[in-house]
Each structure stands twice: as C-alpha cells, then as structure tokens.
Amino acid sequence: MRPSTAVCYTLWLFFGWFGAHHLYLGRYRHAFIWLCTLGGFCGVGWFRDLWRLPDYIAQADTEVYFTEEFPKLQLLQKKAKFSVARFSGEMAVGMLFGILAGAAIPETLIKEYPYLHVLGLFGVHLVANVGYERCPLYIPMIGALLGLPSMVFSSPESGISNGAFFAAACASWRGRRWIKDLPERGHVGKRFGTFLLAWLVYSSLLTSACYHNFKIITQDGESILVKDALDNFFNSPAWAQSKQTIHVVSHEWWQHGTRAAWHKFKIALDPEGEHHAYEVLGVPTTASEKDISMAYRSLVKKYHPDANKDDPHAEAKFMQIQAAYEKLSHIKSRRADRNEKQRPIDDEL
C-alpha cells in the first residue's frame, strides 16, 4: 500500500532531523543515518529530502515499484548510476564512524590502535546500501585496507579521511549493484528492534567518546577531560549531600509514604533558599531572630566594602549577606503573619 504523502511530509517537517519520515517509509538505514547525523549533517540531507520524498514514497510501495518501475530502470542502467550525493554521504558517514571508533577509547591508546579508524568502512557500507542499491561489505573493506598505511604513517586526521575516501571510492566503483529480489519487509517489530539495537551501539560509542576524550572549559579557562570532571564531581561535597538527600527521601517514603517523602524532597530542594541563607549567615536553622540579627551585624561589619577596599570579593560577599538576611526576615515575617491569622480559627475550634 502506498504511504500517505501528507503524513510523510508532516513527519519530515517536525521530526525529519531524527529520520522519522524514513522510518515511516520503511527506509531504516536512511533513518539511522539521519538520526546519527542530525538530519544528514545538521539538516543538509533533511533539506534535500524536500524534493526527493516523492521518489521515496513511490519506492516504499515495494510490490508496485519493484514489478513496474524498477525493471524499467534496470533496462536503462545495468548497474546503479554514480551519485555525487551518495558518494559524499559515504565519505562523510565513513569519516564520522572512523572518528567515533578511535575516540571511544582513551587518547593514550589511540596511537597504539590506529587501525580502529578502519571501522569507518561500516559507515560507507551503510550509505552504499540505502534504497534499492546493494554493496557487499568486502568492497569498502578492501578500500579501507588500502588506506590503512596512511593511518599508520601519517596523522590520525588524514588517515581517517584517506580511509573513508578509499572505501567510498571502491564502493562507488565496484559496489553499485541493484537489489536482486523484492525487499523482504519482515515483521515491523523485528526491523524496529534491529534499528534500536544499532542506535544503542552508536550511542554507547558516542558516550564512551565523550567520556574519554571530550573536554570542558573551567571558569579559570583551563581544559579538563569529562571523565576527570565526573570523577571530581563524584568525590565532591555536593555529590555526598545529594546521596544523603536521596537516602533520607527514600527512607521517608518507605516508612511514611509518598506525601512525607515529597515533603522531605521539597525541604531538600530549598526552593526559597532558606537553608542557603542560614549557611551564608553561619547560623543553624533553629536560630532565633536575635541570633540571626547578631550574626548579620557581625558579618556586615566584617565585610563592609569601606573596611575592605583591597579585597575585590568583599563587596560581593557583603551583598550576599544582606540578601540572606532580607530573605530570612521576609520568611519569618510571613510565617508570623500566617500563624497570627491561624490563631483565631484555632481559638474558635
């Protein structure tokens, strides 16, 4: 049955960068490429689909297309025509997969295993088999192996691009073959499960690459690996406090139910900043208004900008102390008013 053009273009417009329209048409390889590259490398392929979708929709009606249109195409072209778009896609996805394969291990090991970039051939093979064209795996593999010396004796960047180029060149030269039999549609659940499994593998490699080799910039302008930043976070007081909060909330839920756990969770979140204000003033949460005022006057005197002209951080600290005191004063005043209004009701009862 021919897919709906309206549905296809709607999916293309709203979810096209994730390959939803290709999933709808049963083009799982195409959808996977779009999902991995955000719409064919930041929307380039997605935009091209705007005028290619009519052909894709026709091809999706496999029984009609394979028996009527496809034989005519085979008579005109004994093998699939060379396509600049497909060749460029093979190169780009091959380089992406090659980079990802190398980045998935620690940087210190990349030089010891330069041949990992050869795995970019799977990206070339993936693009070469989109639609009604088929390319055996061994053809881009031969091309990738031809580019292997450049991976060993040159920089990793040139090695990756050379490997992808040779693999794509071989696929375009010897691998442009038409599909022989009517594509088996198979069970939708099975095909979609395979799609999800492939995405899981890709996501795992991407996560590993981010963990081992991606860097973030600190507030001091220094670069630090994501894995080092995560190690530091899990050893930080903030994480220890978070674990304690999780333990308290889960214990409260187990002992007293969801409502009590939610109450504890709201207290831990400190949405009004009350607990933080107590910390700024250096007083316990049970401190009286008199204790809070005494701590405030002491800190204001200590951090007043006029008394700390040589300290560039004194003014910021002074403003923080004032804000904390005003916050606590406002909260306590509001609670006092609420208690005052509640008292006549309690007396009547």
Q: Do 55 and 77 form a contact (C-beta atoms < 8 A)? A: no
**What architecture is the 270-348 domain classified under in CATH?**
Orthogonal Bundle (1.10)
Q: Give the model confidence (pLDDT) of 308-321 as tens digits.
A: 878 878 888 889 99
pTM for the predicted model, two decimal places: 0.73
pLDDT at 63: 79
Distance CA 290, CA 216 (A): 45
Q: What is the number of residues in the chain?
A: 349
Cα dihedral 130, 134, 138, 142 sign: negative
Alpha helices in the chain (DSSP H): 5-15, 20-24, 28-37, 44-60, 62-64, 70-76, 84-103, 107-110, 121-128, 138-146, 148-153, 156-174, 188-213, 226-234, 237-256, 258-269, 274-281, 289-303, 314-348
Phi, psi for 111 (deg, rounded to 5):
-65, -25
Q: Which of 210, 227, 195, 18 is nearest to 100 (CA)?
A: 210
pLDDT at 135: 95
Structure tokens at 40: 């064919």
pLDDT at 184: 64
| DSSP assignment string, 188-200 | HHHHHHHHHHHHH
Q: Which of 300, 298, 301 is nearest to 323 (CA)?
A: 300
Share of the chain above pLDDT 90, in %: 39
Q: Give the model confidence (pLDDT) of 168-210 as tens digits.
A: 999 999 999 998 877 666 577 888 999 999 999 999 999 999 9
**Residue range 301-314: mean pLDDT, rounded:** 82
SS (H, E, C) 276-308: HHHHHHCCCCCCCHHHHHHHHHHHHHHHCHHHC
The full set of domain ranges for the chain reads 5-215, 270-348
Q: How far is CA 98 from CA 32, 102, 217, 297, 303, in A?
A: 17, 6, 26, 63, 56
Distance CA 95, CA 107 (A): 18
Structure tokens at 347: 């007396």
pLDDT at 22: 96
**Residue 225 forms beta bridges with which residues?**
215
Which segment of 144-153, 249-258, 285-294 scores lowest on mean pLDDT? 144-153
